[in-house]
């Protein structure tokens, strides 16, 4: 076998290896993009479901038999990271007590110790109904409340903490969610936080049961 033939074989093998590596890299990157897209889609679905649940609950603030509840005592806690109220949530004639709050950062990550890439910023969202905690892992990283008097004008500043629950008539609600796992290889995914983070805010949310405050 001549030297030219040997070099031809070596050259063919070398270029075949390059083509293989390029193909592998493209397939790997395509998989990364697909994973990022799916994670972002799931994040939007989680946010939509969570907003529906919370808005339905908050519209029930103070709702129920007036012999059992009234609009001046239906809000129990009005903190910037926790909201507790009373109302007939499931329309069964019984007055329920509901709280929304978030746990510490890294709570879900601690429950997945074998996954080193699990997002440490994610917190459990707690919905406490009549003393029973419902722990939700939907990617929530932050939950914030701001409160206003019922007669607050458009540009009026929110109430400052500590807030007297008896004067609250409206509130702002802000939620931030992130994907459980962030992709670190695709540069665009690292630079564009919208691919793994989503933010939602509801302003001047109220319940018709608070309108006479």
**Among 133, 135, 124, CA closest to 98:** 133
Q: Where are any strands of DSSP class E within 71-196?
A: 75-78, 82-87, 96-102, 125-129, 132-136, 140-149, 168-178
Residue 109 has pLDDT above 70, yes or no: yes
φ, ψ for residue 139 (rounded to 5)?
95, 15
Q: How far is CA 124 from the centre of its chain?
A: 9
Give the separation between CA 7 and CA 199, rounded to whole angstroms: 59
pLDDT computed for residue 191 by the predictor: 55
Give the separation between CA 62 and CA 56, rounded to whole angstroms: 13
Using 50, 70 and 90 to split pLDDT, how confident is the model at 188? low
Q: Where are the domains of the chain?
A: 3-210
Residue 2 has pLDDT above 80, yes or no: no
Mean pLDDT, range 88-103, rounded to an integer: 93
Radius of gyration of the chain (CA): 26
Mean pLDDT, range 98-124, rounded to an integer: 82
Q: What is the pTM of this model?
A: 0.76
pLDDT computed for residue 30 by the predictor: 56
Share of residues in the chain with pLDDT > 90 (%): 31
Instruction: Strand 75-78: give its sheet, edge to edge.
Output: 75-78, 82-87, 96-102, 125-129, 132-136
Residue at token pair 């649940």 = 53
Contacts of 166 (CB under 8 A, 6+ apart): 72, 73, 75
Residue 212 has pLDDT above 60, yes or no: no
**How many alpha carbons lie under 13 Å from residue 155 in its C-beta half-sphere?**
0
What pLDDT, in 10s, does the model give residues 172-185?
999 999 888 765 55
> ∠ at Cα 207 (201, 164), nearest 5°?
85
């Amino acid at each position: 076998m001549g030297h030219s033939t040997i070099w031809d074989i070596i050259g063919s093998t070398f270029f075949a290896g390059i083509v293989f590596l390029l193909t592998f890299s493209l397939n790997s990157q395509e998989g990364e993009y697909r994973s990022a897209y799916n994670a972002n889609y799931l994040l939007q679905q989680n946010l939509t479901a969570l907003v529906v649940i919370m808005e339905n609950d908050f519209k029930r603030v103070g709702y129920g038999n007036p012999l059992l509840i009234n609009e001046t005592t239906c809000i129990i806690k009005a903190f910037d990271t926790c909201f507790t109220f009373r109302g007939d949530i499931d329309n069964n004639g019984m007055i329920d007590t509901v709280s929304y709050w978030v746990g510490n950062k890294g709570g879900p990550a601690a429950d997945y110790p074998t996954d080193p890439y699990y997002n440490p910023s994610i917190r459990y969202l707690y919905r406490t109904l009549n003393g029973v905690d419902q722990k939700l892992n939907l990617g929530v990283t932050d939950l914030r409340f701001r409160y206003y008097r019922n007669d607050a004008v458009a540009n009026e500043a929110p109430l400052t903490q500590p807030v007297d629950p008896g004067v609250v008539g409206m509130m702002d609600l802000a939620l931030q969610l992130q994907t459980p796992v962030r992709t670190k290889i695709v540069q665009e995914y690292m630079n564009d936080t919208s691919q793994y983070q989503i933010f939602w805010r509801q302003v001047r949310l109220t319940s018709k049961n608070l309108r006479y405050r």
